[in-house]
Amino acid sequence: MKLTSKQMLSLYEYFLEIDDVRRAQGKKHQLPTILSLAAAAILCGMRGYKDIALWAQSLGNNARSRFRCRKRHGQYEVPSRTVFRNALIAVNPEQLNQALNAWNAQYGQLDESLAIDGKTMCNAIDKHGRQTHIMSVIGHQSGQCYTQKKSAHLR
């Protein structure tokens, strides 16, 4: 999913009301920044703390500023994998769920129906001689591909 600048900026606002239970010592990054980066990374298909951190590190300086990252020596810094992990473990899940639901109500895709389509890939044969199949789920109104899975046919 590609996020617009407006959507990126708004994530921070939705996470402002979440209680930050982290210790004051070593708190370099604001909790709304950490949660915004994590949510955006997950919306872009990242899974796990390492992927979230790598996605955040790949952002340019302008994108980092939109997420309100900490500025140091003229550059915006993103949290480390450990910071993402510790913050996501410590956050109140009910407050996080409320914030995400509110953001999704404002910016989520409003597809009333989904199309499921499958294809068999020609000449895509695994070592057991099975052809590869791909299945996609696409929203009718938005045209967004929600998921795409690849598998070998089971005999």
Read off the pLDDT of residues 10-48 as tens digits, 9 standing for 90 and up: 889 999 999 998 888 768 999 999 999 998 888 888 888
Q: Which of 75-84, 99-108, 125-134 has the highest mean pLDDT?
A: 75-84
The reported pTM is 0.69
Q: Which H or E run includes 120?
A: strand 114-125
